[in-house]
Amino acid sequence: DTAVSQTPKYLVTQMGNDKSIKCEQNLGHDTMYWYKQDSKKFLKIMFSYNNKELIINETVPNRFSPKSPDKAHLNLHINSLELGDSAVYFCASSLRLTGNTEAFFGQGTRLTVV
């Protein structure tokens, strides 16, 4: 069973469109995250949620809106897509919020905006 699964794996879309990426974890973790990996492979946190509550919003444009319907799911909706949004987006989860817990990552969603 996949621990952290995200869909779709690939997403190609035109500028200006709105798209969503879904993420689910079956680990029973309290905390979920979205990370963005740019073309130079640099990973940066975007959001974290703990028990459906937003904890971190790392100065991400408000075109990006995460939604956590329950603690097993954290979806990412992106409005008015721009070329610069092209990246790989990783969902992750951890048992709890504090730093002494490892994060488990999904396989990533490669978003290409044309």
Summarize as ranges the residues that interact with another protein (CB under 8 A).
4, 31, 33, 40-45, 48, 50, 55-56, 58, 90, 92, 97-100, 102-108
Contact (CB, 8 A) for 106 and 91: yes
Min dist. Cβ of residue 109 to another protein (A) = 10
Instruction: Work out how close the CB of 43 gets to another protein at its nearest, in angstroms, rounded to a whole number.
Output: 4
CA dihedral 84, 80, 93, 100 (to 10 degrees): 60
- For the CB of residue 114, give the shortest distance to another protein in the complex, in Å: 20
Question: CB of 70 within 8 A of CB of 49?
Answer: no
Quick one: 44 or 63, whose CB is closer to another protein?
Answer: 44
Cβ nearer to another protein, comparing 70 with 102: 102
Taking CA atoms, 92 is separated from 25, 38, 80, 100, in Å, by 8, 16, 24, 15
